[in-house]
Every structure is written in C-alpha cells, then in structure tokens.
C-alpha cells in the first residue's frame, strides 16, 4: 500500500471551550461519517459507534472503526478508523487516528493511500474527513494555528525571512502577495486555501507592496510580488535555485477563471512531498504501542490462567503415589508450573516483540511472494548462516506484515516509479533494504547489511532508484520454516 499523504493536527483543552476535547471530536467525527455514508436518515445504524463497520447503500464507501482505552492510564484513549472509497479503477484508503495523549492534549493523524498506486496521483479526489475541524482551534506540526492566515507587514519582513530560513521549520509556506498598487490579491480566497492545506502548510499573506519590496531586498532571487504566489519548502536556503520553490507568476494567475484550479495545483505540490516531510505521528505510535503492550499482557495473563487450570486438573487426576513418581513432591509441581509460565512468557515476548518492534498481535501475515533481484541474492548468499537467519526472521519475514511494512517504510523516488526503504531510516545495527511492490508481489532490489554500506546507500538515494536497473528476480525461501 503506497502512502501518498500524511498530516497531524493537535488540539489543546485550554484553546477550545468544550468539557472534553476528545469526546467532542469523536462526536463530530461520528456526524462526519454519517454524512459521508449518507446515513442521516438511519441514525440507529451508528448506535454502536465507535465500534463497528458501516457502508453506504452503494457499497462504494466503507468505514471500520474501533476504540481503545488504557486500563493503566484512564486518560489515554485511541480511536482507529479506516475509510475506503472506491473510484473508477482505484480506491482511496484513509487511516485516521484520534488519540488523547493525556487529559489536556489530543492529536488527529491522517494517512492517505492509493491502491493500486499510480504515477499520476489524482489529488483532486483525496477524501476529506475532517471538514468540521474548521470550527476548532488546532495547531500544526510547527506549533502554529492550522486554521489561520498569517499576515506579514513591512516591519515584520525580516522576522518572516528568519522563519523561512529556520532549520526547525517542518511545513512548507504558501505565500500570497498583493498587487503592486495594493488593489487586492489575484489569489483572493485564501480561506479556502487554508482549509485545503490545513496541517500540511502555512498560508501567509504579504500585507502590502512595501512588505513585498522588503522581502525582495532580503531574498532577491526568491521574492513574491504583484499578486504572485510562491511555496518555500522546509530547509530553504537563500542560495537555492529559485526553480526549487514553486512560483505562480501574476500573468498566469490573471488567466485563471476558477481560482480553485490554483488551489488544487498548490495542494498537489504540497501533498506530493508530505510523505517525505512527515513521518507517522510519534504520539500516535506511542499510544498504539501501549495498546499492543496492554493487549499482549492481557493475553499472557489469560494463557497463564489456562496453564494453571491445566495443571490443577492434572493434579486432580493423579494419586499421591503417582504424584510422588511424576514430580517427587508438591514443591516440584510448583517449580514446574513456574518454569512453564516463564517459558510461555519468553515465547510470547519473542513472538510479539521481535528484535526491532512489537508487531500488532491481531495482524494476519498475508500470503505474498518476496522475490530477490540477482544483486540482492548475491548479497544474501554471501552472508554466513547466522546472518541469513537474522535477515529471514527479522527483516524479510516482516515485509509480509502489511501494517508493520507500511508504518516502517520510507519512499524513494525514481524514474520508473517509487521504491521503499525498510526499515525507515535503518535498524539499530544498520541493516535495511530497498523494495517495491507490483501485482501484490514484493520485489527486493538491494540489501544493506550494516553501517559500513551507508556511503553506498546514500549515493544510490541521491542518484534515484531505478526499478529497471534490477533483474533476475527469484523467489525467496526462508531457511527455517516459520
């Protein structure tokens, strides 16, 4: 599944006049789902919200939802929702998480995927699930108001340039300039633009032509003037090629009949970069991890109880003499029981946690082929048996888990389609691989067995991954039967 867009929004109790931000947002989301699926005339269908699965009458849109509340920390809650919308020859999958980190802070995280992936992504079709957020006070990943338009005066031009050049800025800036005579803006509906790129970019407006002139003096090669619009990407430097930062010339804007066309163009530019700019929300990942930990502990406790019951029944069926023969004494039975519990706990921890990360206990491993390129196979066969076993168990097998693979992969662009790095960044000991998916088959192009290969990896990334540069793909066979 190819992630094409991500965003996070943060809500604080003190900024919103409601009794409980999480509960109120959950209710607004329920109303949004009802509208999306056109269930307004059948409110009873959402009676079990937020637990259940619902579809519209045509079967073209489906919502699946569940909620977790921590038993250890009652303030922590996590709502997980998946919205699937079927289009002509593809479908959009929106993964939404609403999490309460503690009593005062709530985060919304959205991740959009397109199946099957297309080189030309129809961003104009991206499903919008959070239209109600316009009525809330929330912040983006830079800690600034996500629903606001920021105005830059002549006096604030220098401070604005400092913000543009800040290495800590994570979101792009969409800057709209006024006409030279201050008669107005060619892109006038900035409110709609804010709603379009909320949580993905800052929408900023120069107050007058004096501010535009000051900006031009400070950034002579990256100015914005006479009604033009420009995007400044994170990591901006004054020495950048101006073409790196998209620019809509006033002459182009004057020919546009429908301003929403420019809104879509800007959204496409910003959205296309969002998976590379934003990782999955760390706050949400911590909540998901805690949920998995608590569920794993509950499963372990249940298995321990079952084991104790089995031992109790076993004891009942034995005579004293048989017990003496089998165990020597009651203390021996106790030791055996404790040993079994420890062994069981170790096996569960090994199965659930793995060496890198705790996988979701309910995730089903999909029957899917993994194929190694001739280059990857040469690398694999050059490993000793112990290293091959490690790659089998802790890297290649984990590619079969869709949830783990999607959450821990990072896209790498190339001339013939996107490839992916797994794990994102790299593992603690430097191991990682590059792969792509085609027709539900996983094609592994390169293996990087350790940090000593970082230079080779960076060189490959800078050049761009070309799928067609790899051939001779053959089925991977695990050394050990899982």
| Residue 359 covered by a domain | no
The residues near 423 (Cβ < 8 Å, ≥ 6 apart) are 356, 408, 409, 432
Measured distance CA(431)–CA(454) in Å, rounded: 10
The residues near 366 (Cβ < 8 Å, ≥ 6 apart) are 400, 401, 402
Measured distance CA(475)–CA(36) in Å, rounded: 43
Domain end point (choices 75, 107, 135): 135
Does the pLDDT at position 367 exceed 50? no
pLDDT in tens, 377-411: 999 999 888 888 888 888 888 888 877 787 788 88
Query: What is the reported pTM?
Result: 0.64
Measured distance CA(259)–CA(29) in Å, rounded: 29
| Residue 366 binned pLDDT confidence (cut-offs 50, 70, 90) | very low
| Residue 144 covered by a domain | no
- How many beta carbons lie within 10 A of that of residue 228, not counting itself? 23
- How many beta carbons lie within 10 A of that of residue 167, not counting itself? 8
Residue 254 sits in the same domain as residue 299? no
Residue 119 sits in the same domain as residue 179? no
Residue 131 sits in the same domain as residue 6? yes
| Residue 376 binned pLDDT confidence (cut-offs 50, 70, 90) | very high
| Residue 126 covered by a domain | yes
Categorise residue 182: left if φ over 0, alpha if ψ from -120 to 50, beta otherwise: left
C-alpha torsion angle, residues 135, 136, 138, 140 (rounded to 10): -30
Residue 293 sits in the same domain as residue 245? no
Domain end point (choices 233, 251, 277): 277
Does the pLDDT at position 298 exceed 90? no
| Residue 358 covered by a domain | no
CB–CB of 141/186 below 8 Å? no
**Structural domain count of the chain:** 4
In CATH, what number is assigned to the domain containing residue 452?
3.30.2310.20
In CATH, what number is assigned to the domain containing residue 177?
3.40.30.10
Residue with token string 């420009």: 230
Residue 246 sits in the same domain as residue 214? yes
Residue 89, classified by CB atoms within 10 Å of its CB into exposed (0-12), middle (13-18) or buried (19+), is exposed
Residue 298 sits in the same domain as residue 397? no
Domain end point (choices 353, 382, 405): 353
Residue 302 sits in the same domain as residue 404? no
Nearest residue to 408 (alpha-carbon basis) of 323, 316, 285: 285
Query: What is the CB-side half-sphere exposure of residue 398 using CA atoms within 13 A?
Result: 26
pLDDT in tens, 194-252: 999 999 999 999 999 999 999 999 999 999 999 999 999 999 999 999 999 999 999 99
Does the pLDDT at position 288 exceed 70? yes
Residue 379 sits in the same domain as residue 468? yes
Measured distance CA(334)–CA(311) in Å, rounded: 10
| Residue 364 covered by a domain | no
Nearest residue to 419 (alpha-carbon basis) of 452, 453, 389, 461: 461
Q: Which domain holds residue 170?
A: 149-277
Does the pLDDT at position 92 exceed 90? yes
Residue 122 sits in the same domain as residue 190? no
- Of 161 and 303, the structure prediction assigns the larger pLDDT to 161
User: CA distances (Å), 114 to each of 125, 186, 231, 316, 361, in order?
Assistant: 11, 33, 25, 58, 25
């Amino acid at each position: 599944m190819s992630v094409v867009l991500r965003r996070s929004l943060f809500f604080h109790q003190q900024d919103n006049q409601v009794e409980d931000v999480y509960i109120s947002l959950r209710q607004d989301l329920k109303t949004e789902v009802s509208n999306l699926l056109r269930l307004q005339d059948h409110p009873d269908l959402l009676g079990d919200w937020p637990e259940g699965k619902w579809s519209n009458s045509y079967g073209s849109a489906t919502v699946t939802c569940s909620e977790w509340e921590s038993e250890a920390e009652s303030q922590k809650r996590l709502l997980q929702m998946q919205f699937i919308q079927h289009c002509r020859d593809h479908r959009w999958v929106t993964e939404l998480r609403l999490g309460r980190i503690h009593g005062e802070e709530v985060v919304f995280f959205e991740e959009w995927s397109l199946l099957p992936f297309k080189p030309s992504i129809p961003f104009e079709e991206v499903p919008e699930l959070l239209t109600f957020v316009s009525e809330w006070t929330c912040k983006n990943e830079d800690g600034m108001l996500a629903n606001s338009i920021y105005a830059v005066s002549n006096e604030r031009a220098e401070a604005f340039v400092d913000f543009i050049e800040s290495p800590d800025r994570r979101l792009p800036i969409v800057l709209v300039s006024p006409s030279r005579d201050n008669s107005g803006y060619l892109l006038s509906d900035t409110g709609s633009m804010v709603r379009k790129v909320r949580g993905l970019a800052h929408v900023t407006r120069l107050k007058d032509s004096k501010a535009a002139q000051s900006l031009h003096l400070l950034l002579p090669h990256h100015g914005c003037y006479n009604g033009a619009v420009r995007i400044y990407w994170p990591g901006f430097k004054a020495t950048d090629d101006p073409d790196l930062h998209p620019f809509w010339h006033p002459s182009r804007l004057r020919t546009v009949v429908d301003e929403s066309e420019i809104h879509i163009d800007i959204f496409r530019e910003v959205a296309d970069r969002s998976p590379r700019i934003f990782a999955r929300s760390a706050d949400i990942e911590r909540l998901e991890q805690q949920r998995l930990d608590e569920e794993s502990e509950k499963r372990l406790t249940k298995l321990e109880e079952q084991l104790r019951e089995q031992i109790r029944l076993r004891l009942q069926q034995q005579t004293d003499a048989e017990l003496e023969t089998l165990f020597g004494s009651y203390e021996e039975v106790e030791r055996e029981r404790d040993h079994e519990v420890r062994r069981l706990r170790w096996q569960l921890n090994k199965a659930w946690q793995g060496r890198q990360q705790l996988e979701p206990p309910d995730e089903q491993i999909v029957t899917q082929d993994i194929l190694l390129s001739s280059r990857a196979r040469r690398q694999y066969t050059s490993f000793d048996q112990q290293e091959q076993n490690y790659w089998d168990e802790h890297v290649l097998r984990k590619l079969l888990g869709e949830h783990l693979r999607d959450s821990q992969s990072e896209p790498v662009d190339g001339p013939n389609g996107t490839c992916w790095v797994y794990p994102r960044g790299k593992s603690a000991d430097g191991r990682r691989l590059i792969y792509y998916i085609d027709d539900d088959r996983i094609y592994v192009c390169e293996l990087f067995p350790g940090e000593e290969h970082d230079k080779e990896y960076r060189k490959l990334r800078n050049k761009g991954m070309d799928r067609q540069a790899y051939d001779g793909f053959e089925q991977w066979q695990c050394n050990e039967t899982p």
